[in-house]
A and B are shown apart, each in its own frame.
Chain A
Amino acid sequence: MKSGRTLRLAWVALMWLALAAAPFWMPFVGGYTALGTRVLVLGLAAMSVNFLLGFTGVLSFGHAAWFGLGAYGCGLLLKFGPPSTPLGLIAGTLLGGIAGGLLGALMVRRRGVYFAMVTIAFGQVFYYIAFQWSDLTGGDDGLRGFSRQPLQLGSLTIDILSNSNYFYYFVLVCFAIAAAIMGFILRSPFGRTLIAIRENERRARFLGIPIERHIWIAFTLSCFFMAFAGGLYALVNNFADPRGLHYSQSGDFVIMAVMGGMRTFWGPLLGAAVFVVLQDYISSVTVNWMSFIGLLVVLIVLFFPRGLLGLVNRRSVA
């Protein structure tokens, strides 16, 4: 037990080391820094989905909506408001988080497959809004005409716009803060209660836990994390895409979480890394990347439902 914990700590330390050094080692394995930035952002998004899926036991298949709202909120503020990257991120996080929290109150009335169905349908609302309201959002072409701004720390200016390594470290710091908050919540009594709900909802209800309220709070928190990741994604691309709100994007996030291991905290990050690299690679070799991703999903579901880290964990326990 003790050695397992030490081993786990060693792995996490190694992961942070690898992340911190990514701009230096990635070029040697055929990667580039922007790829690492995307992995971090999509990994954070997959972790936010998993906050709900893996730790509360509630499947939302419409989380791309909050991701996309974060991206649009961030982009719109940078385009029409003060040119400040942190303000843009805050605007995106608030937009996606509040919208998700409000609609979440409607959605938590259902459970199981039907909850998934309602989340998909509500998520699509924002896809259509982004698609139709072209005066504001640019419609099908997406939101353009903004870019991330250099950071001002007192007299110090960090140019995250043109230096991709600086931007990577900025995203890494954001990622670390979000992951720390998420981990802190999950270790708190509230987080333990969520896990109790996941394990046995009926028993948790008998213990007097207000299930609906807990699920709603978890949903809302997850929306805030999601929107924060979405805001970062807008900064990565200097662009917000309506397809980022579509339910197939939500599906991608769920795939990343399941592929990495949805009962583990870091699994979704690993899943995102594998997914992004595979997608990058496969779409460069064949036009039929959709079939490959589809086949991959089918194989994971049938043969590796515990995901990559789930596989490792089980082995170390046995």
Chain B
Amino acid sequence: MSPEIVIFNVTNGLIVGAFYVLMALGLSLILNLSNVINFAHGGFLALGGYIGWMLTPYVGFWGALALAPLATAVFGFVIERLLIRRLYGRDPLYSLLLTFGLAFILEDGSRSIWGAQGLPVSVPDILNQPLSDQFFFITGYRVFMVVVVVVVVAILFILLRYTRVGIRIRAGTLDLETVAALGVNVRALRSLNFAVGIFLAGLSGVLASGQLGLEPTMGTGLLMPSFIAIIVGGVGSLTGTLLGGLLIGVASGITTVFLPQASEAIIYVIMALVLLIRPRGLFGEEGMMT
């Protein structure tokens, strides 16, 4: 087994892990503050990709990369205002079913508008060059994706830590009632928070389309690993979600080297182990496990 193969799969794992992280962070934000499992997250991801594809002829790749996630976030904001907000405070069953139905509509809608066939997406030539002859598989675009994810995640964490809104979101995760009692407009906070989550999904969509092309179901496959990233990292902890996503991405990359059939199974094994040994997740707080 040559070192190239190992490095190839580990880098692959990191890249896949970066997408898990983007997806899972968005899901986690929404789950923490609104107690909603957003089944439609994968649908929003695909939507982001398609919006980027539509925008590219007018604003170019870079413009699309900047605008498409914003457009997706606006769409998410509207959905939250119109539908999801009505279900806050009710049994979580209903928000789960609603987003489940929404996922159907988004997938079917994308298929009707843009077709079931995959659409190819081109990225600027600068990004397509391999970085070196030896590791020809490490194209500029792969590095670029990881850099974008790192930058965006860093910005997100800085915003959550140091801005007023960010602090309110984190406080709301711990105790929403008290935050509301202190005079914070919780409704607006939740809408904004939802939009941020969808922004991350839209961004993953645009980034992923440059590597894999566009398909109506492109986000669905990322949904389950993202759930697991959240469970492994510990519900309520964004740092946990971040590390959980990277962990399962790299773990499945490494498993691909030794036992390709088990690359998918390994993430479930990790989840089972975590639940067995540390039910609240690696970074979950005591008392947040309900």
Chain A residues proximal to chain B, CB less than 8 Å:
53, 59, 61, 106-107, 109-114, 116-118, 120-122, 124-125, 128-129, 132, 247, 251, 254-255, 258, 288, 290-291, 293-298, 300-302, 305
Contact = CB atoms under 8 A, between A and B. Distances in A.
Given A53-B93, A297-B97, A110 B290 contact: yes
A139 to B, nearest CB: 11
B108 A122 contact: no
A297 B107 contact: no
A295 B101 CA distance: 6
B265 A128 contact: yes
Contact of A111 (B87, B265, B290): B290
Interface string B148-191: 00000000000000000000000000000000000000000000
B265 to A, nearest CB: 6
16 contacts: A59-B91, A109-B275, A110-B279, A113-B36, A113-B37, A117-B230, A117-B231, A121-B227, A254-B97, A255-B100, A288-B112, A291-B108, A294-B101, A294-B102, A296-B101, A297-B100
Contacts, number: 115
Contacts of A132: 261, 264-265
A270 B235 CA distance: 36
Nearest to B43: A294
Contact of B289 (A110, A296, A305): A110
A313 B230 CA distance: 40
Interface SS majority for chain A? helix
B275 A106 contact: yes
A121 B271 contact: yes
Contact of B35 (A113, A258, A300): A113
B108 A121 contact: no
B104 interface: yes
Contact of A298 (B102, B227, B289): B102
Q: Which 5 A-B pairs rank lowest in CB-CB distance, beginning with the nearest?
A: A297-B101, A294-B104, A290-B108, A294-B105, A294-B101
B108 A59 contact: no
Given A114-B235, A117-B230, A302 B97 contact: no
B146 interface: no
Interface string B124-161: 00000000000000000000000000000000000000
Interface residues of B, number: 43
B100 A290 contact: no
B105 A290 contact: yes
B268 A128 contact: yes
B31 interface: yes
B1 interface: no
B89 to A, nearest CB: 13
Contacts of B224: 120-121, 124, 247
Interface string B32-47: 0001110100000000
A178 B113 CA distance: 45
A121 B231 contact: yes
Interface in B77-120: 83, 86-87, 90-94, 96-98, 100-105, 107-109, 112
B220 to A, nearest CB: 9
Contact of A258 (B97, B272, B279): B97
A58 B39 CA distance: 19
B228 interface: yes
A59 B109 contact: no
B227 A117 contact: yes
Given A106-B275, A125-B268, A288-B108, A117 B102 contact: no
A121 B248 CA distance: 14
A124 B224 CA distance: 8
Contact of B37 (A53, A106, A116, A305): A116
Contacts of A251: 39, 97, 100
A301 B227 contact: no
B97 A255 contact: yes
A208 B264 CA distance: 42
A125 B26 CA distance: 23
Nearest to A250: B100
A296 B93 CA distance: 16
Contact of B104 (A107, A112, A297, A305): A297
B57 to A, nearest CB: 27
A218 B140 CA distance: 53
A121 B275 CA distance: 12
Contact of A293 (B104, B228, B271): B104
A59 to B, nearest CB: 5
A258 B235 CA distance: 27
A96 B78 CA distance: 42
Contacts of B272: 106, 122
Contacts of A61: 96
Given A59-B92, A254-B97, A109 B279 contact: yes
Contacts of B276: 106
A59 B101 contact: no
Contacts of A53: 93
Interface string B235-249: 100000000000000
A301 B100 CA distance: 11
A297 B87 CA distance: 14
Contacts of B271: 121-122
